[in-house]
Structure 1
Amino acid sequence: MDGRALFRADQPDYRTAVDQVSSFKFLGLHISSDLTWSLNSSVLIKKAQQCLYFLLSLKKAYLSPRILVNFYRCTTESILTNCISVWYGGCCVADRKALQRVENVNKDTYLLLEMDLKWVSIILQLSAVCGVSAYTSYRYVFVNENKNWTEAQSYCRETHTDLATVNNMEEMKNLNTTLKDKTTSSVWIGLNRGNTGRWLWSLADGGLYSEGEEYRNWYSGQPDNSGGIEYCVTMWNNPGKWNDDRCDKLHPFVCYDEKNSTHRYIFMNETKTWAEAQSYCREHFTDLVTVRNRTENDEIWGLSHNNDGVWIGLFNDSWQWSDQSNSSFRYWRSGPDNYGNNGQQQCAVVTEDGQWTNLTCDNKLPFVCRQNKLVLVNLTLTWKEALRYCRENYVDLVSVHSEKVQSWVKELAQKASTDHVWLGLRHTCTLNFWFWVSGESICYQNWAPGNGTRVEDCGSGERSGAVGSSGGQQWVSLPQNQQLNFICSNY
């Protein structure tokens, strides 16, 4: 059969010569006549840069994070990965350098958007209003294994931080929430009885007292611990002098209300034991009253003229926390005199009703550990190595998003072996802003003068944030290849 008969007059004659072109596009690739990839690389670079421009424009229009993620993946990311396994290997050195430059432009955006929407929130929330949240420096972890107190202490120190410490009523509520529906038995916490008693205030608020402040107004010959069972304190009408007394006696009492700036002290003209008075004040106000000076003593005495005495928040205590904390918070079910003087070591448990009692320490019980939020790692690594270490062994490099978190960082940084300590603070030279690698906005700032607020010198590479281990412990901008200690977050 003669194929020439099939050609029509209006069809081109493919047997004739055609013009030669320098390049053509086939399946998305620009193929050059000299079989180099320079043209294809330059086209991809231009497209990627155009898409990044549109991405930032969409961000300014406050589109949702999910839309921005999808846009990035469908445009910029897909462009950069288009047939890369085929053509990148054939690129010349100049093409590879050009692609590396566009990769440097994209990498921070990619880190911000990839895998999790929280990365996008960094860009979107740069100008957002920061919320106020309650932060705690540690959390409670219930361990449903029966151990004696010493075994439980060892387990917590090896696996978490230590047995649980409770500093105030809010933390006690958190602890009870942790235990809710998890156990029907008592559980160990980190309190055991020591040998030396000391006078403590029921309200365990370090911010309420000045350093070294210890006002006392004892009646002559007091405290005398008559009969070895007087652990609580009343204020007598003598005038306003103090006396140690049995905690199970019934007296009126004075509460303290921190929320009331005009009437902080509330006299309750009903009789209760010291422990009952403490529970009542904590439930309805803040706590039993603390007396810090003569002026406060006179004011409280003026409210409570009572010849038999009124309970105040002072009590004698020989208990100590496993982590050597000086917290004076106690939540005894039957009062701080419930020490069980039977010659055996005594340790504290949280009972089924959420309050404390004491048992001999050789009982086998479940327990509650404390896990610190932040951990200082005394290895010297670059910023990227520190980031990798934290993510493999903990959760992330620390983000300092409030003054309270800064105070925790300050405490840990003082123990470092390097002059500075890495934080999870990162700078993008391309977009010229700082961000936390955890995805949280930079609301709180603590930069040292000349750091963090000016255009960074990126000539020596990317910059990262660190905190000083001494002095004012402010943040500084450092090249990421310096080797420092670092702080990781546990959760």
Structure 2
Amino acid sequence: MYSTGQWVDMYCDGLYKPVCSNVTGHNVAFVFINTPMSWMEAQRYCREHLTDLAIPRNLSENEKIRAVIPGGVYSWIGLHKDTWKWSDGSLYVFNRWTSGHPTGGEKNAQQVVKVKLVGNSALDLNDPAVLGNLQAELKEKVKEQGVAAEIKLSWKKQLDGKIFYKEKKDQNWKWSLPDEDFYSNDQNIRNWAYAEPTSPWFTAECVHMYDNGLWNDAPCDWHYGFICANISGQTVKFVFINTIMNWTNAQRYCRQHYTDLASVRNLQENEQIRTMKPGVIAWIGLYRDTWKWSNGNLYLFYYWASGQPNGETEKCTSADFSLSGRWNDWSCSLKKAFICYLDAVPFTKQAVKLQLVGNSALDLNDPDVLEKLLEELKQKVEDQGVRADIKLSWKKCPNGKTFCKEKQKDQN
């Protein structure tokens, strides 16, 4: 529901702030929850803490819900399409749709299907006549399957303006955990949902797992729960974190508290993860290694000009200020003016190797011991006259431990 009180249909995995209902007998109170979540998460939250997602039975109750939603905000209510039913299973009789909605009803059902052309075709896939003939053939194929409804087909353009693009074998997908020894020969397992991934090659996407165990690519700044991995040698234990974060924050959390975001080496590990998360979408450690900022930051925001980027060999970017600063990709060998930036509060990161000498009885896997060591190290640095704000953290070895036994000096 929009703050005007009118309804809009949305994808159920979008993140919006819900309105819950608190029912006592025939009396109902509506409560706005100021936390964005998916529809399923909102339903679960409302059922755990109140009664259910809000169900307006008439215009008066619709107005009460509207009154608790802040201006300019979309909020989940309890209606979902099965076809449409209320969250508690009751029949859908009252409605308050905004003009033009719902947009995905039975009379106007829309579906995106990925089409793959195989073989070496001489067809010009930019020719409107060729595209029209392909549409006619596809429509005939659908009718041959017994679909009698009126079907309208159209092409969906990619962000680069093209309809078809050459498919790469793996499109630069990488796991967050970089240790190649961990993967052996199973690194290339992919368990994509049907027709996924759908994003163009040049967009930064991260991967989440549906509740059925299949994968989908999504913008990395979306918020989901996530799966961390605790790794010791080739042994891995998965941990579901039921706190919604974007992918980069989830990666940071897993690296601080465990080893990394979950890598999936085979279908058995995929099934382990699927069964441990209670019917929700969760981030895993796969992401597309595409454009990066000069300082190494992940590429999330983009502002490409129309038709850009248009060349996979043009690997540097300029801003065209005659087009409101929109971006073009160029060859890195071209000479152009450039823009630098300066951190208002500069900082540096440094990795320091520590060696513990002597036979210590300390349990170096004990979090309290590790925290105490950090405090002593910080004090040592400050005793050297360093007055800057210092944050220390441990970096785990590939086997999941913070300290590793050093091999013999000569190693044969």
TM > 0.5 fold call? no
Q: Which has the higher helix share?
A: 1
Return the structure number with greater relative CO, CA threshold 8 A, min gap 6: 1
Larger radius of gyration: 1
